[in-house]
Homo-oligomer: A and B are copies of this chain.
Amino acid sequence: MHGDLLKQILNSVREGSTSVDEAMSRLEHLPFEALDFANVDHHRAMRCGFPEVIFCPGKTAPQVATIFSRLAAAGGNVLATRATAEQYAAVRAGHGSAEFFESARCITLRQTPAKPSTGVIALVTGGTSDMPVIEEARVTCEIMDQRTQKFYDVGVAGIHRLLSQSRELRAARVVIVAAGMEGALASVVGGLVDAPVIAVPTSIGYGAHFQGLAPLLTMLNSCATGVAVVNIDNGFGAGFLASRINRLAEGASG
């Protein structure tokens, strides 16, 4: 669109119907994205597999449904996070094939054929109460065409559960660790694998846990190398970043 406008201006310069000074003046008034930036967005919109994402809290069910439909119209996959059953009902009215992942609190709509990645993203979690967070990561990875493998309930209090699966864990390309309580799992996993580790502190705990502050600090101070951290309970952010990294490794980006 802006490209068209630019072309039109240049053509009229070429044809002499617009003077150079006039053209310069008009170009200066073009929004920034006219020349380059909007491409970014187009680029984004066109790269199938990278879904458009809706963060649902604070939106009414009809609002979510409306935004969902608008995004779906672009033809790519759609992901809504932190969604409620009520919001899902509103979405499903317009998109019968939209799926709801209750534990993950996510709605997805797949419109492109799935092309699972070769490499695997490992999903590691300490306890069953971290499930909503790691599941949000999993749903995010999968709508982005990533293969995932679950390593659930392998907390450090019974470290043999984790160690007994270390071979499979080390085969993963990227590892996401979601852990509440003291969050020590990220450090132990970081010491076991060579893959990049995305750590997600969860708000599961009580007392001096301070709604996730404890594992957040644990993970930021990890003595294991190769660990980076996202916000408390941000399973989506971890899944999105892990998917980006794995795509790099698949040669699908550059």
A35 at the interface (CB under 8 A from B): yes
Given A13-B13, A38-B160, A166 contacting B32 (CB threshold 8 A): yes
A57–B157 Cα distance when bound, in Å, is: 18
Check if B36 sits within 8 Å of A32, measured CB to CB: yes
> Is B205 touching A221 in the complex (CB atoms < 8 A)?
yes
For chain A, residues 16 to 30, give those with C-beta under 8 angstroms from any C-beta of chain B: 16, 20, 23-24, 27-30
Given contacts A30-B35, A188-B188, contact A244 B223 (CB under 8 A): no
CB within 8 A of A217: which of B24, B213, B254? B213
Cβ of A7 < 8 Å from any Cβ of B?
yes
Q: List chain A positions with a Cβ less than 8 A from chain B.
A: 1-3, 6-7, 10-11, 13-14, 16, 20, 23-24, 27-42, 44, 53, 57-59, 119, 126-129, 155-160, 163-167, 170, 173-174, 181-184, 187-188, 190-192, 194-196, 198, 201, 203-234, 236-238, 240-241, 244-246, 248-249, 251, 253-254
Alpha-carbon distance A240/B233, docked complex (angstroms): 25
A200: min CB distance to chain B, Å: 10
Cross-interface CB contact of A42 among B1, B32, B166, B207, cutoff 8 Å: B1
Q: Contact partner of A156 among B40, B184, B234, CB < 8 A? A: B184
Check A126 against B10 for contact (C-beta < 8 Å). Answer: no
A3 touches B39 (CB 8 A): yes
Contact A11 B20, beta carbon cutoff 8 Å: yes
Across the interface, A187 reaches (CB within 8 A) one of B184, B220, B225, namely B184
| CB pair A191 B157 closer than 8 Å | yes
Q: How far is the CA of A211 from the CA of B211 in the complex (A)?
A: 12
Tell me, rounded to whole Å, the shortest Cβ–Cβ distance linking A180 to chain B.
Answer: 8
Give min CB distance, A120 to chain B, whole Å.
11
Q: With the chains together, A16 CA to B127 CA distance in Å?
A: 44
- Which residues of B lie under 8 Å from residue A119 when comparing CB positions? 254
> Within 8 Å CB of A29, what residues of B?
167
Q: Select the residue from A34, A41, A219, A249 with max chain B CB neighbours within 10 A.
A: A34
Bound together, the chains give a CA A61 to CA B244 distance in angstroms of: 39
In the bound assembly, the distance between CA atoms of A34 and B3 in angstroms comes to 9
6 residue pairs, one from A and one from B, having the closest CB atoms? A207-B232, A34-B34, A184-B184, A31-B164, A228-B228, A214-B217
CB pair B42–A35 under 8 Å, yes or no, is: no
Given contacts A126-B223, A222-B182, contact A38 B27 (CB under 8 A): no
Q: Quick check: A229 and B232 within 8 Å, CB to CB?
A: no
